[in-house]
Amino acid sequence: MSNLSSKPYQIGYALTPKKEQTFIVPSLLSYASQNGVVLTKIDPTKPLIQQGPFDCILHKLYDSDWKQNLQDFASRNPNIPIIASPESIDILRNRISMLETVSKLKINNTGVPKQITITEVTGLENLKLNFPLIAKPLDADGSETSHKLHLIFDKDGLNNLTAPFVLQEFVNHGGVVFKVYVAGKYFRCVKRKSLPDISEEKLVNLKGSLPFSQVSNLAAGGGGEGCKFEKTEMPPESLVKELVEGLKEELRLNLFNFDVIRDGKNKENYLVIDINYFPGYAKMPDFESVITDFLRDVVHKDINCGDN
């Protein structure tokens, strides 16, 4: 860490109550303060130009009034970084546009599962997708509804879904997902338990649909699961780094994470299945120092924040 300036950096934050509760925690406030960064809560209902002064704005709000508030502030303060531009964030609020960014990268041995958007629950006879499928709400806005995912085993399982939604082919991946957290120059890949594989033999006896909250019931019992998870190899760091750098440039974002799975049919191939703006960093090791360093880099202009 470089020598601290005599005047601490003022970082204004505007977050939902849930995000504030999990992110603006005492350990972060303490570490940041000790390293020359002060986090100050913004009142999003009042003009930003009447608050502050700020060296940087950090936010995760989506409504039109807030966007206008940000725009007014940016027009008067073009040199003050905003994390991040609403236009870049909006790409990740749609489950189709978020993964289109991965396809544009054209990185060897990477891709996305086959998927389509359903706007009306009619004419679903010729989907040209293979079961099982994952049904996800089209909007990925962090709301409770956006997290209601279902595993679909046959055409009957499509009957009770509410459009619009995305249908994505389920890919066997050994029950492990790799989560990659990105904060500016820093990235960290960790592994987490995921949906169990579904064999063709098992699929024959599965009917309708199942909410993700109940999918764990599909897993066969036994003591080998934990051992299998521990032995699962991480993706090559060179590939993860290439994905990180590519997504940062394509999305014009510096604060996000993405989920990667290893294709069960081809262990050399990796599929990105989800990307989130400003995820739950408190779950990440050393998150206090990572976020503090990131904010200092942004203020120093060591990181390009897109339009700002």
∠ CA 258-190-272, rounded to 5°: 30
Do residues 43 and 51 touch, judged by C-beta distance below 8 A?
A: yes
Per the annotation, does 172 bind a ligand? yes
Sign of CA dihedral 126, 129, 130, 134: negative
On whether 174 is known to bind a ligand per the annotation, the reply is yes
Quote the DSSP letter at residue 130: P
179 labelled ligand-binding: yes
Q: Is the dihedral of CA 67, 71, 77, 78 positive or negative?
A: positive
Residue 123, marked binder: no
207 a known binding residue? no
170 labeled part of a ligand binding site: yes
- Residue 73, annotated ligand binder? no
Q: Judge whether 274 is annotated as a binding position.
A: yes
Is 173 one of the annotated binding-site residues?
A: yes
CA 164 – CA 96 distance, rounded (Å): 11
- Tell me: is residue 169 an annotated ligand-binding position: yes
Please tell me whether 231 is known to bind a ligand.
no
6: annotated binding-site residue? no
Query: In the beta sheet, which residues pair with residue 186?
Result: 183
Is 175 part of any known ligand binding site?
yes
3-state SS, one letter per residue, for 39-50: EEECCCCCCHHH
Q: Is 259 annotated as a binding residue?
A: yes
Tell me: is residue 95 an annotated ligand-binding position. yes
- The verdict on whether residue 147 carries a ligand-binding annotation is yes
Both structure tokens of 221: 């019992």
150 is in an annotated binding site: no
Q: 3-class DSSP state for residue 103?
A: helix
Sort strands 56-59 and 82-83 into parallel, antiparallel or unpaired: parallel
Q: Is 264 annotated as a binding residue?
A: no
- Residue ranges for the known binding site are 19, 60, 95, 136, 147, 168-179, 194, 259, 274, 276, 280
Mark the binding-site residues for Mg(2+), compressed into ranges: 259, 274, 276
Positions at the binding site for 1D-myo-inositol 1,3,4-trisphosphate: 19, 60, 147, 276, 280
Binding site per annotation, positions for ATP:
95, 136, 168-179, 194
